[in-house]
Amino acid sequence: MRVLIADDEPLARTRLAALLRDCEGAEVVASVGDGEAALATCAKLHPDLLLLDIAMPGLDGIGVARRLAALPSPPQLVFCTAYEEHALTAYELRAADYLLKPVRSERLREALARAQALRQRAPATAASLLAQAHGAPFKVPLDEVLYLSADDKYVTVHRAAGDVLTEQSLKAIEEAFPERFVRVHRACLIPIERLLGLHRDPDGTPHALIAGCDATPEISRRNLAAVRKLLRS
């Protein structure tokens, strides 16, 4: 199980990493110190499990969990915190477990086992797009769509399993599934549940962070306000 640690205390991150080294099947893929970094790293590395502190500067652990809960295939969550009072909220967000600091090795193993069991449940089916591959039509479940991009002739459906083409226009897809996609550019739609955040390149141009994808499509000035509003909601 690939694990991401998110905690603003360096010593807490170090201790969790040390405990995980003694947990069979667990691999620490990264360790970060704030909520925004946790979201960005989830988008880049796609961990199986996020060990998440609650009291962090900026976006706290509950805020991170709410963002991730909207994704079709989010990482499993285990909260690691010094505070008992957030336990109910954590379980409402479908956390696999809630560990109080200092985290004990036995409880961490139990949490990993719970998270692994939840990961093995089959995902629900979803609506689909009609695409083409090698001249043959087939359906792409919306849950598989990372983002959609258009050029002069085609719309490309970007998936982890490989890009395919669809004859449906971005406008038609947007109108058919108004609750599923957000337009970030005249030539790009992103599933709302996969939009994790935004970052700016050195010249200030905003780009979207997409869960499950390394691509960071540009956000146009025209669509930036709507994207920000969606991320705040």
Q: Are residues 44 and 109 in the same domain?
A: yes
Q: Are residues 79 and 137 in the same domain?
A: no
Residue bearing tokens 């949490």: 111
pLDDT, residue 217, reads: 96
pLDDT, residue 157, reads: 95
Q: Are residues 113 and 136 in the same domain?
A: no
pLDDT, residue 71, reads: 62
**CATH code of residue 162:** 2.40.50.1020
Could you report the per-residue pLDDT of 22-73, keeping only the tens digit for each?
A: 999 999 999 999 999 998 898 788 899 999 999 998 889 998 988 887 665 6
Sign of the torsion angle spanned by Cα atoms 112, 118, 120, 126: negative
Sign of the torsion angle spanned by Cα atoms 127, 130, 136, 140: negative
Q: Are residues 134 and 100 in the same domain?
A: no
User: 226: domain range?
Assistant: 128-232
Measured in degrees and rounded to the nearest 5, phi and psi for residue 208 equal -90, 140
Q: Are residues 163 and 79 in the same domain?
A: no
Q: Write out the two tokens for 211.
A: 């869960």
Among candidate residues 95, 119, 143, the one where a domain is terminated: 119
The answer, yes or no, to whether residue 123 has pLDDT greater than 90, is no
Could you report the per-residue pLDDT of 83-120, keeping only the tens digit for each?
A: 888 888 887 778 999 999 999 999 999 999 999 988 87
127 band by pLDDT with thresholds 50, 70 and 90: confident
The answer, yes or no, to whether residue 121 has pLDDT greater than 90, is no
Question: Residue 125, exposed/middle/buried by CB under 10 A (0-12, 13-18, 19+)?
Answer: exposed
Q: Are residues 156 and 176 in the same domain?
A: yes
pLDDT, residue 31, reads: 97
122 band by pLDDT with thresholds 50, 70 and 90: very low
215 band by pLDDT with thresholds 50, 70 and 90: very high
Among candidate residues 119, 147, 163, the one where a domain is terminated: 119
Of 214, 206, 212, 172, nearest to 191 by C-alpha is 212
Q: Are residues 103 and 161 in the same domain?
A: no
Q: Are residues 103 and 144 in the same domain?
A: no
Number of domains in the chain: 2
Q: Are residues 162 and 200 in the same domain?
A: yes
Q: Write out the two tokens for 183.
A: 């337009």
Q: In angstroms, rounded to a whole number, what is the distance separating the alpha carbons of residues 226 and 68? A: 19
Give pTM, 2 decimals.
0.58
Q: Are residues 170 and 226 in the same domain?
A: yes
Could you report the per-residue pLDDT of 77-89, keeping only the tens digit for each?
A: 999 999 888 888 8
Chain centroid to Cα 32, Å, comes to: 15
Q: Are residues 134 and 101 in the same domain?
A: no
Q: In angstroms, rounded to a whole number, what is the distance separating the alpha carbons of residues 15 and 148? A: 41
Of 122, 125, 121, 75, nearest to 95 by C-alpha is 75
Q: In angstroms, rounded to a whole number, what is the distance separating the alpha carbons of residues 155 and 165? A: 6
Check: CB of residue 180 under 8 Å from CB of residue 128. no
CA distances (Å), origin 232, targets 1, 74, 130, 150, 229 = 31, 19, 32, 27, 5
